[in-house]
Structure 1
Amino acid sequence: MSGKVNEQLKLRGRVLIQVPPVLTSPVKHALRILARDLEAVLGSEPEWVTDGPEPAQLHIRLAEEQDHCEARPEGFCFRFESGDDGSRLNIIGSDELGIVYGILEFSRRYLGIQPFWFWMDQTIERQEEIVILCEDYDAPQPKVRYRGWFVNDEVCLIGWKEPYPPTGEVWEPVFEALLRCGGNMVIPGTDLPRDGIHYKLASEMGLWVTHHHAEPLGAEMFLRAFPGKHASYQSEPELFENLWLEAIEMQKDMNVLWVLSFRGQGDKPFWIEDPSFDTSEKRGAMISKVIRRQYEMISAAVQNPVCCVALYGEISELYKGGYIDLPDNVIKVWADNGYGRMVSRRHNNLNLRVSALPAGGDGGKHGLYYHVTFHDLQASNHLTMFPGSAAFLKQELETAFAAGTDEYVLVNCGNIRPHVYPLDILRELWTAGEIDTDKHLSEFVSSYYASGREELEELYRSYSAAALPYGPNADDLAGDEYYHHPARRIIGHWLQHKEAEPDPGLIWAVGDLPFAEQVKGFETRLEAGIGKWRAWLERCDEVIRRLEGEDSRRAADQLRFHGALHLSGCEGFYWLCRSYGEYSRQRYPQAFVYASESMWRYREGLDVLRGSEYGKWDGFYRADWLTNIESTVQNMDTLRRVLRMNGDSPDFFLWYKEYLMPETEKYIYLENTHRNPLPDDELARRLKAYFLESQDIDTK
């Protein structure tokens, strides 16, 4: 008898679970997770049986005809039975990944373990008894067939633990979270050593593996394998094809989404190394030829391979221009611009913003490569949460799905921990194809927080409203890199004495203007941003003070962390711009004070990183090599040392004498007792106080 309403299944202590006699690797991993979850909630590990007289309370198995479980890849259902010896839950999968999803859904639905429990430090409540209402359940078919993460720019994951490449201790929580989100594919890292376990472990846990578009078929980079050779397919086709054959042989027994592509070494157009390809026709013909050859090679080794082509960068432009011919059944993957808008990516100062969605009538299967985090040396968010709103993500993804890009979604997930909320939005979208953002936010907050939920929802909702707009488009919102990469460019341009000409690397942000006007352009934008981030952070602190238990620590990591990095970066960059203004007027002591102010604010960003490293997160941000807040602090220290040489050199006593020494001492002091130069920080603080009193600077 199955699934009667009002009947209950009660789980206490040591739960008896019947499992298949032969366990595949993905199911073994899922059972390990289930055992850990049951122990966390009920206090005891379960007992596994394959048969026997004692009735198991849970039965995990493949679907049978009488289950009426939807016969599709990755399908699963729950079926309840009741008898004289009580009720039993059957967790049934149509295949091994269906079983994995069924086990993880049981953990979420009945044990309360949320998809990002590890990354959000969810509080797991111990319970004496779990009471389950016996209602059958059929999992809906996800909107997107292939859905997953590209663990890209993953420097925090790389630097978190000592071993390199990262071990299972780092990768297992990543892959578990992805599976809990219903994901089924992954690019596990970027250009990691091939002796790492990342690809093998991902496959063992049930995930399809796929590849970076710069590493077609997952093959070794040509110049790594053949240093000193000319990386040209035209001149070295056999060497390229040998690498592809090796990659195919290594992966042919795994579930693989084969990426077909042809880019140059170092993720750039191949014609940079082979300039004879000087027309779109020649370039498109070569890319088409290589992709077809790769497809032939895979098809010869793998039955019914799943293949995709990343229409990214120059390949997208050539495809739209009609210069690339692709095999009929490959998935064409379209990419956003790194800031969430489905338009072409900005290349340095060129920002054409051409639509990056298939045109009507472009047949075949289509998918998306989408960023919730990005690294571009300009304005992207890497350490901080996606600055766009949930409504923006909803609009972009639902519009893209309407254009037919629902076969494949690959999300650039970065280092996971800073990006949980937008990743959860994408989880909902690739599952249901649409999202009610208010309902989702309410469910998200209630899943991870026990107190202050309405106030926390407001903070998540208003985060994007505090973001600094740096351009005219809705997606032109500054991430953390905006406060650091342009700032370091300004310092370099300044100290290299290039002020007479614009910095070409800043034109994208402030225009092709004289350097002083470029700096002023940043200053104006930053001044407005400071007020918004300061107000948001004050509201955040008010809410956190009222939260209970572990909620305050969680909100500090998941909300305040982001606002504090924005505010410290925004203020640091602003005072750098003010310093240049004073320097231009040859007011070197004032420029020195403002440069010190800038460094102090940037240093606060480092304190934010360190403050978020505790317990299992110890060392998590030590490898901040991309935004690289520490580098900015060092750059500012260099700048203020140079500024001090403009007027306080060679004895580094002159500013003290001019501004700080009592008038009664200036003309009678003895040098042998008054020549110990003040350290930079102390001098800056005392000069700041002097200039504030004399109203010769402001530090609002």
Structure 2
Amino acid sequence: MAHRANEQLRLSGRVRIDVPEGMPSPVRHALRMLARDFEAVLGAEPEIVEGTARDAGQEIGGEQSKAAELAIIGGKSKASELAIRWAEESDGIPRRPEAYGFRFRSSEDECGADVNIIGHDELGLVYGMLEFSRRFLGIQPFWFWADQEIVRRDEIVIDGEDFDSPEPKVRYRGWFVNDEVCLIGWKDPYPPSREVWEPVFEALLRCGGNMVIPGTDLPRDGIHYKLAAEMGLWVMHHHAEPLGAEMFLRAYPGKSPSYQREPELFEKLWREAIEEQKDKKVVWVLSFRGQGDKPFWIDDPSFDTPEKRGAMISRVIRKQYDMIAREVENPVFCAALYGEISELYKGGCVDLPDDVIKVWADNGYGKMVSRRHGNQNYRVPALPAKDDGGKHGVYYHVTFHDLQASNHLTTFPGSAEFIKEEVEAAFASGADEYVLVNSGNIRPHVYTLDLIRELWNEGEADAGEHLRRFVRSYYRDGHEELEELYRTYSEAAIPYGPNADDRAGDEYYHHPARQIIGHWLTGQGAEPDPRLFWAVGDAAFGEQVKGFERLLEPGMKSWESWLERCDEALAKLGPDDRRRALDQLRFHGALHLSGCEGFYWLCRSYGEYAEKRYPQAFVLASKSMRSYRRGLEILRDSERGKWDRFYQADWLTNIRSTVENVDTLRRWLRLHGDSPDFFLWYKEFLMPVTEKYIYLENTHRNPLSDDELALRLEEFFGL
């Protein structure tokens, strides 16, 4: 029910919501969210009455999902508390896509709803309902992913002032749910079900997003694309899957994946993809790469010059463009200038149609320069030139997977100010038509995704003010100390290079560590490991290992200091805030410290091995393994309630693999002097002197386990 006091509207109990007949699927999904939010805050499910709100405006049809069904009753309505309706001319809502507004009935009006959420199109109504929920019910965009505490209230107070939505800075705004293995491993069904995808798409819509690439190379019979469209999102495709077509070698195993040789087969796949999607909202990705997301000329070496490569890419993109234009009305096109295509385009070797949005990519670490490929790091600026006409956009990483130093399980290691400056500079260069963010598994990246939300909506952000609002949106107490921890997180990250974006993510402690173990145990230690040049240069292998050690030692101290401050702040919080801060803050620092320590002790172990101090090397390898094992414990501790098994599929950073690699190492080290009876080190270092020379071997043959021997030798050596 509703009542007014001083022109404020107060809602309490079971609120009545009037809706028009025949709502399209995206609006039904949003209405389901709004109804759930009302029930969570006011403690009563709203009464939803269909066919009473005015039906002006043009509806866009959509399939109704079972998940979007609501308890809706029909009938005539008198004055209601809340109405969801299509905008009329007299409402004065701007005539642009996705616009929405709030209109209020004054106390003098005799009819109509107290509150009207109105929009010209389906996403307008969706955004209007979700913004109403944020403003007046307090439901934040990442309520699900950040475990927001929903506060129950007796009533909600609405100011009663009409509101028109501002136009977002960016027309096409979305996420690439890439490297999403945690989402894959979280629940049993594969590919992931509605239960997994709905919270992802809901959070994106609450952020004002309107497009998505829902996953990477998932089975085509999965729900991900269908559900994204059902919830009103524009659908896109991975640049390795142009037009969303089947991968060539999956469709034609044994055939040569060469457009030069098999143009008809490629075009058949594209034609099928266009036919399947031509009536849906699609941002068509025009691209041509080789199978497995690599340059096509790797499989076809006849394309041995930039000019030949660029000519082929231009030819294929023009063909895709023409095929779509014949079948789709007013299509939206983009082309990813990523990796080698960016270099070819800047070199004048790629020609794109004028109305294709050209998408520029950061290097995976948030800097708008070319990506590092192995040891090559040219850092060529990746933004449009001043005289480069047409529309431009940005593909930006807040998480990345590259087998080097990227962050995957942990939040972005750079500062919010750094992200703000890079994205605002991209907008200033004209790359503001489109922003696609690599969102990974969502949960570890809430803070940075929320910052991008503000940037793509407002066009700019005050990093400090954004942080202040963010912390107060998700935590009840301890705001100043929590803000300081979020702000100083990036200061604790290891700077492994000279650039602002050279800050270590969680993969830094694992991929290079496993490479070192492999190089070491396969007897290649006399030569440098070329895979490590990007981090520690072309030096002797021992010096390469020492190079990591020199960075890791201060890194441990930095993370230890940050965690000490974190623990002090968390001790002052209530149980709900403390649990939230454990997952959203401490989790990341603790995972960094466990990896940093594990890698440090591994490097120290190699130093002892190189000096032929094998028992000491064994002890330090065991210390390394214990530190890495603690990383697994940190993952498990964060998997409670709805998050059970969330990190089960950690296959990219792959902490478990690192633990197993280090375990292999220490077993191998024990062969150096303790074999074959695995009693010799005990006898030499641990057996009491009174027993060492008189014991009978046939009664003292039970060797210690690796763990027990390591702990006792660690105490003996004082390591």
Q: TM-score, normalised by structure 2?
A: 0.95
**1:77 is aligned to 2:116:** no
- Structure 1 match to 2:29: 29
**1:193 is aligned to 2:245:** no
- Structure 2 match to 1:539: 565
- Structure 1 match to 2:89: 65
In the alignment, the residues of structure 2 paired with residue 87 and residue 340 of structure 1 have an alpha-carbon distance, to the nearest angstrom, of 47
- Structure 2 match to 1:54: 78
Q: Is the 8 A contact 1:5 1:134 kept in 2?
A: no
The structure 2 residue matched to 1:657, chosen from 683, 690, 702, is 683
1:68-104 CA distance string (max 9 Å, x none): 0011000000010123579611101121100000000
Q: Is the 8 A contact 1:6 1:134 kept in 2?
A: no
- Structure 2 match to 1:669: 695
**1:444 is aligned to 2:444:** no
In the alignment, the residues of structure 1 paired with residue 506 and residue 381 of structure 2 have an alpha-carbon distance, to the nearest angstrom, of 26
* Secondary structure of 1:442 counterpart: helix
- Structure 2 match to 1:12: 12
Aligned residue runs from structure 1 range 227-376, under 5 A: 227-376=253-402
**1:509 is aligned to 2:535:** yes
In the alignment, the residues of structure 1 paired with residue 308 and residue 418 of structure 2 have an alpha-carbon distance, to the nearest angstrom, of 38
- Structure 1 match to 2:436: 410
Shift in Å at residue 549 of structure 1?
Answer: 2.9
In the alignment, the residues of structure 2 paired with residue 197 and residue 298 of structure 1 have an alpha-carbon distance, to the nearest angstrom, of 24
Q: Is the 8 A contact 2:83 2:113 kept in 1?
A: no
In the alignment, the residues of structure 1 paired with residue 41 and residue 358 of structure 2 have an alpha-carbon distance, to the nearest angstrom, of 44
Q: Is the 8 A contact 1:334 1:369 kept in 2?
A: yes
Unaligned runs of 5+ in 2: 53-75
In the alignment, the residues of structure 1 paired with residue 254 and residue 574 of structure 2 have an alpha-carbon distance, to the nearest angstrom, of 61
Q: Residue type of the partner of 2:298? A: I
In the alignment, the residues of structure 2 paired with residue 215 and residue 148 of structure 1 have an alpha-carbon distance, to the nearest angstrom, of 18
Shift in Å at residue 13 of structure 1?
Answer: 1.2
Q: Residue type of the partner of 2:120? A: S
Shift in Å at residue 253 of structure 1?
Answer: 1.1
Shift in Å at residue 106 of structure 1?
Answer: 0.6
Q: TM-score, normalised by structure 1?
A: 0.98
Shift in Å at residue 59 of structure 1?
Answer: 0.9
The structure 1 residue matched to 2:672, chosen from 646, 652, 665, is 646
Shift in Å at residue 157 of structure 1?
Answer: 0.2
Q: Residue type of the partner of 1:287? A: I
In the alignment, the residues of structure 1 paired with residue 506 and residue 544 of structure 2 have an alpha-carbon distance, to the nearest angstrom, of 19
1:458-513 CA distance string (max 9 Å, x none): 00000000010011111000000000000000000000000111001000000010
The structure 1 residue matched to 2:155, chosen from 123, 129, 134, is 129
Q: Residue type of the partner of 2:209? A: G
* Secondary structure of 1:288 counterpart: helix
- Structure 2 match to 1:683: 709
In the alignment, the residues of structure 2 paired with residue 549 and residue 360 of structure 1 have an alpha-carbon distance, to the nearest angstrom, of 53
In the alignment, the residues of structure 2 paired with residue 306 and residue 655 of structure 1 have an alpha-carbon distance, to the nearest angstrom, of 70
Q: Residue type of the partner of 2:203? A: A
Q: Is the 8 A contact 2:285 2:333 kept in 1?
A: yes
Q: Is the 8 A contact 2:397 2:439 kept in 1?
A: yes
In the alignment, the residues of structure 2 paired with residue 234 and residue 691 of structure 1 have an alpha-carbon distance, to the nearest angstrom, of 66
Shift in Å at residue 673 of structure 1?
Answer: 1.7
Q: Residue type of the partner of 2:321? A: Y
Unaligned runs of 5+ in 1: 693-697
* Secondary structure of 1:328 counterpart: coil
In the alignment, the residues of structure 1 paired with residue 420 and residue 171 of structure 2 have an alpha-carbon distance, to the nearest angstrom, of 19
In the alignment, the residues of structure 1 paired with residue 223 and residue 327 of structure 2 have an alpha-carbon distance, to the nearest angstrom, of 24
- Structure 2 match to 1:560: 586
- Structure 1 match to 2:68: none
Shift in Å at residue 48 of structure 1?
Answer: 1.4
Q: Is the 8 A contact 2:364 2:399 kept in 1?
A: yes
In the alignment, the residues of structure 2 paired with residue 535 and residue 222 of structure 1 have an alpha-carbon distance, to the nearest angstrom, of 52
Shift in Å at residue 674 of structure 1?
Answer: 1.0
Shift in Å at residue 141 of structure 1?
Answer: 0.3
- Structure 2 match to 1:695: none
1:344-378 CA distance string (max 9 Å, x none): 00000000000000011000000000000000000
1:116-145 CA distance string (max 9 Å, x none): 000000000111111211111111000000
* Secondary structure of 1:357 counterpart: coil
Q: Residue type of the partner of 1:67? A: D
* Secondary structure of 2:622 counterpart: helix
Q: Is the 8 A contact 1:57 1:88 kept in 2?
A: yes
In the alignment, the residues of structure 2 paired with residue 304 and residue 244 of structure 1 have an alpha-carbon distance, to the nearest angstrom, of 18
* Secondary structure of 1:220 counterpart: coil
Aligned residue runs from structure 1 range 375-394, under 5 A: 375-394=401-420
In the alignment, the residues of structure 1 paired with residue 335 and residue 237 of structure 2 have an alpha-carbon distance, to the nearest angstrom, of 10
In terms of mean alpha carbon deviation, does 204-213 or 127-136 score higher?
127-136
In the alignment, the residues of structure 2 paired with residue 630 and residue 451 of structure 1 have an alpha-carbon distance, to the nearest angstrom, of 36
Q: Is the 8 A contact 2:42 2:155 kept in 1?
A: yes
Q: Is the 8 A contact 1:6 1:133 kept in 2?
A: no
Shift in Å at residue 54 of structure 1?
Answer: 2.9
In the alignment, the residues of structure 2 paired with residue 69 and residue 505 of structure 1 have an alpha-carbon distance, to the nearest angstrom, of 57
- In the alignment of these two chains, the number of paired residues is 690
The structure 2 residue matched to 1:98, chosen from 120, 124, 129, is 124
* Secondary structure of 1:550 counterpart: helix
In the alignment, the residues of structure 2 paired with residue 194 and residue 640 of structure 1 have an alpha-carbon distance, to the nearest angstrom, of 44
Q: Residue type of the partner of 2:178? A: N
Mark the CA change 1:251 to 1:485 in structure 2 (over 3 Å): closer, same or farther.
Answer: same
Q: Is the 8 A contact 2:99 2:120 kept in 1?
A: yes
Shift in Å at residue 5 of structure 1?
Answer: 11
In the alignment, the residues of structure 2 paired with residue 538 and residue 101 of structure 1 have an alpha-carbon distance, to the nearest angstrom, of 41
In the alignment, the residues of structure 1 paired with residue 138 and residue 84 of structure 2 have an alpha-carbon distance, to the nearest angstrom, of 19
In the alignment, the residues of structure 2 paired with residue 205 and residue 147 of structure 1 have an alpha-carbon distance, to the nearest angstrom, of 15
- Structure 2 match to 1:40: 40
**1:420 is aligned to 2:446:** yes
In the alignment, the residues of structure 2 paired with residue 146 and residue 621 of structure 1 have an alpha-carbon distance, to the nearest angstrom, of 31
Q: Is the 8 A contact 1:310 1:333 kept in 2?
A: yes
Root mean square deviation, CA, Å: 1.0
- Structure 1 match to 2:181: 155
Q: Residue type of the partner of 2:690? A: T
The structure 1 residue matched to 2:205, chosen from 164, 173, 179, is 179
- Structure 1 match to 2:73: none
Q: Residue type of the partner of 1:21? A: E
- Structure 2 match to 1:144: 170
In the alignment, the residues of structure 1 paired with residue 374 and residue 6 of structure 2 have an alpha-carbon distance, to the nearest angstrom, of 63
1:603-652 CA distance string (max 9 Å, x none): 01000000000000000000000000000000000000000000000000
Q: Is the 8 A contact 1:8 1:87 kept in 2?
A: no
* Secondary structure of 2:147 counterpart: coil
In the alignment, the residues of structure 2 paired with residue 432 and residue 466 of structure 1 have an alpha-carbon distance, to the nearest angstrom, of 29
Q: Is the 8 A contact 1:232 1:274 kept in 2?
A: yes
Mark the CA change 1:241 to 1:5 in structure 2 (over 3 Å): closer, same or farther.
Answer: farther
- Structure 2 match to 1:462: 488
